[in-house]
Amino acid sequence: MGEFDNMNYVIETSHLTKKYGKIIAVDNVSLRIGKEIFGLVGPNGAGKTTLLSLITGLRRATSGSIRVFGLDIRKDDVKIKGHIGVLNEKPGFLDNLPVFSQLLFVARVKGLSRDEAKREVWRCLEKVNMSKWADVNVGKLSAGMKQRVAIAQMIIGEPELLICDEPTSNLDPLGRETFFSILEEFSERGATIVIASHLLFELERICTTVAIMNEGRIVRQVKIDELASIIRKREFEVLSSDKEKMAEVLSSFSWVDNIKVTSRGVKIIVKDVKRMWIELPKAAMKENITITSIIPKKDLLSSLLESIEDEME
């Protein structure tokens, strides 16, 4: 895709630590990210945003080193930043300036001539379906629209590395689809993408590797297909046409750990989620029970973190 095509690792961090007084926001993180879509997942306050801001050079590490495209972020930050696109958690704009002029400024700082920059800004605005809002002041846009403008800003100049922090917050379903299709397009062209989110199901959809972060540390880094095997227990509620009969069916499975009949269905703790999806519908059909819904009672991330904690104990 560009100047750094032959790199093994696009981002390398070594023993990276960031402290705010006594608080350790990032604790001894060593990461290697190649040309892939890399997800960084963790609860609020896990240190994802701080880690990304260290990688983008927005903040200075207390100790450790960061190399992006093989260059030191402290020494060659301007060169590195010419090749990256960043979508911050809270994208900032000057509210009294129109969308177009804000993006034009970004394109020109990235080294494009005035005419090239104009063409590039139109192209990016069209990608996020915001071209008809080009002349409107950013301050007049809704939060979701600002997020779209921020996405357009990130992809200006076709960067080789995209760094997105909670990218889908404020986006409607259509906006999310557009965003993911843009990422897929960039990935096909060989760009590296790093996404931080606390929504694991979103990362599952697009990432190739996921690092799980908690309390400033990377507690686990896995390929996306290995993720399901880590989650040992997950709580679901099964809604069906006959909850008493469903409870009986469920009690016959070895992968069900705990059964509790509630006012609307049956709550279960599942030890093997994969088997549940295969065996439960078959058994229900055999017993002539209609399953109307299977609702996860805890989100994927909490279950994942619990499983990792259990494993560590």
Partner 1 sequence: MRKTMLILEREIFSLKRSKILLLLTFIILGFLYGLYLEAENYKDYITGNPDLTLEYQTALFTDAVWIIIFLNIGIGRIMLGIIGATSLAKEFENKTMSTLGCLPIRRESIFLGKFLAIALISLSVTLFYSWGTWVICLFTLGPSPLKLVFSTMFFIFIGCLYFASLSIFCSSLFKSNASAIFLALGLIYLSGFFVYGYPAEVTDWEKWFPEYYLGFLYYHLFMPEYVSASDPSFYLSITVILLIIFILLTVSAVIFKFKDI
- Applying CB under 8 A, which residues contact partner 1? 53, 56-60, 78-79, 81-82, 84, 86, 88, 90-97, 101, 105-106, 108-111, 137, 153
Largest interatomic CA distance in the chain: 71
User: Minimum distance from CB of 56 to partner 1 (Å)?
Assistant: 5
Which of residues 81 and 232 has its CB atom nearest to partner 1 in the complex? 81
SS3 (DSSP) at 308: helix
Q: Which amino acid does the sequence have at 229?
A: S
Which of residues 145 and 273 has its CB atom nearest to partner 1 in the complex? 145
Which of residues 97 and 294 has its CB atom nearest to partner 1 in the complex? 97
User: Minimum distance from CB of 114 to partner 1 (Å)?
Assistant: 11
User: Minimum distance from CB of 139 to partner 1 (Å)?
Assistant: 10
Residues 119, 265: Cα–Cα separation, whole Å: 57
User: Minimum distance from CB of 75 to partner 1 (Å)?
Assistant: 13
Beta bridge partners of 32: 12
Contacts of 91 (CB under 8 A, 6+ apart): 146, 147, 149, 150, 153
DSSP category for residue 98? B
Which of residues 95 and 287 has its CB atom nearest to partner 1 in the complex? 95
Structure tokens belonging to residue 79: 């060169």
User: Minimum distance from CB of 214 to partner 1 (Å)?
Assistant: 23
Which of residues 59 and 245 has its CB atom nearest to partner 1 in the complex? 59
Q: For residues 215 and 47, is the Cβ–Cβ distance under 8 A?
A: yes
